[in-house]
Amino acid sequence: MSPPAGRSTAKVSHPRAGHRRPTFARTVGTPARLHGPRWPWVVSFGLLAALLILQLLLLQRAELAASARWRPVIASVCAALGCEVPLWHEPAAYTMLARDVRPASDESGVLEVSASFRNDAPLPQAWPVLYLQLTDVNGQAVAARMLQPTDYHSDTAHEAALASGQSASVSFRIAEPATPIVAFNFDFR
């Protein structure tokens, strides 16, 4: 049979036939598979993950110990490793039982301050920072002071914490402001 008029009789070759691939596209060979047990890698990965979790717990122990949910976990980890867990800090759990501010009977220009409070938190807490604010007849703050536990309680070194349900009484003296004082306010921080 003869080819139709106007058509070439050239042989059409397949695009890959006789054509060389560029060198970057050639496959040199399949990489050899690693043979042998995989369990050492799995165990190593598990141990490293456990070590990372333990480090995170230790580094964040103060923040995690402030959570009632995480505190038992942190306490048990620290008991096993010998680290310290900070005391519970919940100022709102302190309840004021009695308070009084009056002029000192033996010295002019000095006020005697006394207060008693109770720790209603479920755990022992450090002694609170007391915030005392004195106001005048117009309700304006005349003086305010933050009192650290060492300012109002001399035995804090021996008694670092107040147990749950434990009450405490404190008294201290402060200088009386020049403006007459008619009211005072205590707060726990």
Q: Is the Cβ–Cβ distance between 167 and 117 less than 8 Å?
A: yes
pLDDT, tens digit, 9 for 90 and up, residues 137-176: 999 999 999 999 988 887 644 578 999 999 999 999 999 9
| Strand order, beta sheet including 94-103 | 94-103, 110-119, 167-175
Token duo for residue 74:
């942190």
If you write DSSP's letter for every residue of 125-178 in order, what string do you get? EEPPPEEEEEE-TTS-EEEEEEE-HHHH-TTTTT--EEPTT-EEEEEEEEEPPS
Strand-pair partners of 144: 133
pLDDT, tens digit, 9 for 90 and up, residues 106-125: 999 999 999 999 999 999 99
pTM for this structure?
Answer: 0.65
- Nearest residue to 133 via CA among 76, 184, 65, 62: 184
Q: Which CATH code of 3.40.190.10, 2.70.50.60, 3.90.1720.10, 2.60.120.10 fits the domain covering 91-188?
A: 2.70.50.60
